[in-house]
Amino acid sequence: MQKPPVNSLNLDLLVALRDTLVKLEKEKCKGMILTSESPSVFSAGLDIMEMYRPDHNRARKFWTTLQDTWIKLYSSPYPTVAAINGHSPAGGCLLALSCEYRVMVGPKFTIGLNETQLGIVAPFWFQDCMRNAIGERQAELALTLGKMFSVDEALKVGLIDEIAKDKADAISKAEDFLDEQSGLPALARSTVKVAFREATLNRLLKNREADTKMFLDFISMPKVQQALEMYMQTLKKK
């Protein structure tokens, strides 16, 4: 990802990500490493400006493109690794959680689904991804608090798989993971992957329109708009 300054996921970046994932699958990609050009941010999550005083049609397109991107990434037949070389809140954490393996550069960055702290709610499929990684109990604690984990905490709870000392080390560890997968029969590998992920995927696939409506209704609420405005101001003041 290379959308300065913080790889916030706006419609354009999501379209680019989705199209890349579609292309990789068509070209029978052997493995993918998702990382960031920024030296300190993997992705700042959804672009708040896409949710603040939105145009209804654009907001719908934004959300359905996010769904498409997630479905493509989460169900990709090829192996995927997130080399998390910076902060990774909310939608950034979702991208990392959707890969099969996570290597994060330590020690100073943070990762987590912090939506509750912003006065918004992580959708059920964000929650499912966290639950699948760290288990029911830890996911409930993390999601209700909107907890951002330090790298050490993330490793301890199973949110990441390995710590790296810098980006090059993260990429090298990610390549080791891909090398390990490359010797396996691809169809058997991808069938097992999809079997593990099927229930989570189907939950969204069967409820896409309801999920979209929930998003559009939620961001139309004055209280939510107020919370987003205050949050944007806090970020700008900073």
112 is catalytic: no
State in angstroms the smallest separation of the CB of 59 from ligand LJEIAPTW: 10
235 is catalytic: no
Q: How far apart are CA 104 and CA 88, in angstroms?
A: 10
Q: How far apart are CA 45 and CA 62, in angstroms?
A: 13
State in angstroms the smallest separation of the CB of 52 from ligand LJEIAPTW: 9
149 CA to centre of own chain: 15
State in angstroms the smallest separation of the CB of 90 from ligand LJEIAPTW: 3
Between 52 and 140, name the residue whose CB sits nearer to ligand LJEIAPTW. 52
State in angstroms the smallest separation of the CB of 185 from ligand LJEIAPTW: 37
Within 10 Å of residue 199's Cβ, how many Cβ atoms?
10
Between 3 and 72, name the residue whose CB sits nearer to ligand LJEIAPTW. 3
For the stretch 57-67, what's the b/e string if a residue is b when 16 or more beta carbons lie within 10 angstroms of its beta carbon? Answer: eebeebbbbbb
Which member of 31, 45, 86, 91 is catalytic? 91
45 is catalytic: no
Cα–Cα distances in Å, from 24 out to 19, 21, 148? 9, 5, 31
145 is catalytic: no
Between 31 and 123, name the residue whose CB sits nearer to ligand LJEIAPTW. 123
Contact between 27 and 76 under an 8 Å Cβ cutoff? The reply is no
Kindly list the residues in this chain that would bind ligand LJEIAPTW in the complex (CB under 6 A). 5-6, 8, 40-41, 44-49, 87, 89-91, 114-115, 118, 120-123, 214-215, 218, 235-236, 238
Q: Of 96, 111, 113, whose CA–CA distance to 151 is shortest? A: 111
Q: How far apart are CA 14 and CA 50, in angstroms?
A: 12
Between 49 and 192, name the residue whose CB sits nearer to ligand LJEIAPTW. 49
Give the catalytic positions in this structure: 46, 91, 114-115
